Chain A
Amino acid sequence: MKRIIAAIAALAVGLVSSAAGAQDYPWKPDRPVTIIVPWAAGGSTDQMARIVAVELEKALGQKFVVVNQPGASGSVGTKGALDATKDGYTWAAGAAADVGTYKVLGLLDTQLKDWHLFFAVANLTAVAAHPGAPFKDFGQFLEVLKTKGDSIPVATAGLSSAGHNFMESVKANAPIKYKHVTYNGGAPAVTATVAGETMAVAQLLVEMSEHIKAKRLVPLAILSEKPVMLEGFGELQPTAKWLPKMPAPINYFGIWVPKGAPDAVVKTMEAVWKDKIAKSEALNKYAASRSALFSPLYGADAEHEAFKMVRQTAWLYFDAGKAKLSPDTLGIQRLQ
């Protein structure tokens, strides 16, 4: 009985989801393509991947299914894509800084150059404070951290999260201390600061922009060289204003497939990226509303740009004693 009902449901759904027209690309996927998001649903990677999936569906006339495979700093899901048959039907999503440093951290034997990279947006890291905190801009924040940093709790999504890397990078460029309080993700860390459990939060701007607009958080600075506009709020100040020597590389988010995938797949994706993703209104809107940077990069460009962040992050881990091997041995030089 159960199966009969299920079969009827199958039929109904099957009728609705008939394929949309696809253009002439060399690769025509004949079954759904999987994008593995190695993080929980709702995070920054997940949001980006779901929008990209819809755009790809429109372009290729085939379903792109987003599967969340969280665990072990994203290495579980990335491994899933790495181990899958190299037929172009299994992709991974994430941040370039993560996939580029798994080997340095000893989490997974893979590097940035093992993948065909397709970036959609770049997320900015920001630091913001609870409205009641005794600092209103990044300069005051640094002063407080210099004098009594041990008692200032700063929330992040944990070790090797963008927020924690940001704070460590500040620490490497200024004589500060802070009390590192970890949460199970960007959203809980931001929420805790809104609620007042911690005084400041360092995380991706995407995850806190709504609270900044609603005046529940005071933005202190963003990791960047130039000021950035946040729609519905105003200008956000860059870290370079206070710490001009601190490198401010950009963290690219996108999807990728292991090298070894059929040529037709890569060619098709490059064409889609050029024709469709680069002109995607949905991604543009998403980026603008969250004050992320819309950055449809692929191929050598993508690898070159993303490698800056990898260099910065890998050495940050090494200096903190968290690396399993020196980035030098993998050809990752220190970012000056």
Chain B
Amino acid sequence: MLDSFGQFIGAFGSFLSPGLVVTVLWATFLGIVVGALPGLTATMGVALMTTLTFTMPHTEAILVLVCIYVGAIYGGSRSAILLNIPGTPASACSTLDGYPLARQGLAGRAMGISTSGSWLGTLFGTLCVATLTPVLAELALTFQSYEFFWIATFGIVIAGTLSGGDALKGYLAGFFGLWISTIGQEPHYNYQRFAYGFTDLAGGIGLLPALVGAFGVAEVLQAMRAPAAKAVSSSIDSVIPRIADVLQHWKTILRSGAIGTFIGILPGLGEDTAAWSSYAAARRASKEKEKYGKGSIEGLMSAETGESACVPGAIIPVLTLAVPGSAPAAALMAAMMIHDINPGPMLMIQTPEFFYQIVAMLVIADMTKLFFGLTLVRPLLWILLVPRERLMPIVFVLCTVGAFAITSRVFDIYVMLFFGLIGFVLRELKFPMAPMILGLVLGDLMESNLTRALVLSDGSIAPFFTRPISGGLAAITIFSIVWSVPSAQAAIRRRLAGLFRRQSAAG
């Protein structure tokens, strides 16, 4: 215990050089700006900055990306409050109560709530990273191919079930992503699937170009199609958070922090799901339900805490299982791999110092976010008013560079364009993007572990169900699928309700 505390202190110390402080400041600020600008998402910010930072030393590069991620999720609520447009999908929930507060002339107070909620949320999540990661990593060490196959499958299923609402479309997107991941050379005979003689296709579809396409290009198209935004640029009251707002809602903050972190840990569910779930839970427990949607401080607080607690939460499965907890975390994981940090169960054994560094990075990013949240109000407002006609072409240029530069292949630009189109069309058709990206990430994990497990068991599928952890994971996965079918869910609820009634009648 004392030893790990010393490690934390050491990790903090390693980030205290003046150069790194400057890095943290610009990276977090950039993250907030990226988040605040509608059309620039956290995923895209992390993916683009991966390109920009890949000649940096690896801890510095990951530090930049963590700051971008933390900053972007927070920055999104600025545009949600002031423009009624979520800067990132994660902040959609904050528009419900944030914008009404701004219209009542309480924009400053709303931003103060957002700042304090977000700050506490990330802090809570980071505490969970520090305590849960070693435990989960220990557990994950006992996982073999059978268990990893189920983890991957469960990831796709849970992302499909919860991330977009419509489970059926989530599954379709997930399996479409899984199929895309099978393009290219397979491991057993080096057969080039779906490549038809193109060496570039035989190399497979890169994750980062696909992410930049689905979250960057698709956003550009969407922003250009949508009507122009108008700000409530009235005078802004004090943005200093009120202690009373925090103290009064401590229950909401704790609850939202726990929900947000948990949603983050579940593979592929992003900050948007975390915010909506925390919001729904807060509303259910609230004494002033009627205020929700009309400028409830409690509602805004829950959404902000939930989405920000999700950020560290999403990093936990990256560190322990090499399974991303959200779309930006997928980009972060890809960056770790590029920088030769191998996420997964062995991380805690091979490079334990990196785990402490990640915790330190999260805390540093969170503190910097608080600092900017309290000081930079005017400049952010000014940035929000950049017209999209000027912003979007620049974003597209950055997307092109970002997709190209990671492996210097023109082919990746075409991948980006293709995913931009697919992403735009599928989103218009109400398909969630997260399962597709998760499919692309987990496809290889799923396939290689499935075939490897079958090789080890000589083709028997029994161990998938008879090994204790594997069997448990199988049960959870199957239950999640059944739960997503509305009629089956209703039947289970009825059965459960019946059970309770009988018990209470007997008692």
Contact = CB atoms under 8 A, between A and B. Distances in A.
Interface stretch (A39-47, A221-229, A280-288): A39-47
Interface stretch (A61-69, A240-248, A264-272, A307-315): A61-69
Nearest to B55: A65
* 9 pairs of A and B residues whose beta carbons are closest in the complex: A71-B203, A76-B203, A42-B340, A72-B202, A41-B340, A69-B407, A72-B185, A158-B187, A72-B203
B151 to A, nearest CB: 15
A67 B444 contact: no
A160 B190 CA distance: 9
B338 A69 contact: no
A34 B141 CA distance: 38
Contacts of A36: 408
A302 interface: no
Contacts of A149: none
Given A69-B407, A159-B189, A197-B144, A42 B342 contact: yes
Given A5-B26, A71-B184, A182-B187, A76 B456 contact: no
A34 B204 CA distance: 22
Contact of B184 (A9, A72, A184, A191): A72
5 contacts: A2-B33, A42-B342, A65-B55, A107-B202, A184-B448
Contact of A34 (B30, B200, B408): B408
B464 interface: no
Interface of A: 1-3, 5, 9, 34, 36, 40-42, 46, 65, 67-73, 75-77, 79-80, 105, 107-108, 153, 158-160, 179-184, 187, 191, 195, 197-198, 322
B450 to A, nearest CB: 12
B26 A76 contact: no
A71 B448 contact: no
Nearest to A50: B340
A322 B184 CA distance: 18
Given A159-B188, A184-B444, A195-B141, A69 B409 contact: yes
B315 to A, nearest CB: 20
A76 B455 contact: no
Nearest to B205: A71
Given A67-B408, A68-B407, A76-B202, A159 B190 contact: yes
B383 A40 contact: no
Interface residues of B, number: 38
B456 A153 contact: yes
A3 B33 CA distance: 12
Given A107-B202, A158-B188, A197-B456, 14 more contacts: A1-B379, A2-B30, A5-B26, A42-B342, A70-B203, A71-B202, A71-B204, A72-B190, A72-B202, A73-B185, A75-B202, A181-B452, A182-B455, A195-B141
A280 B211 CA distance: 41
B452 A80 contact: no
B455 A73 contact: no
Interface in B446-470: 448, 452, 455-456
Contacts of B55: 65
A76 B346 CA distance: 29
A69 B202 CA distance: 12
B199 interface: yes
Nearest to A32: B55
B29 interface: yes
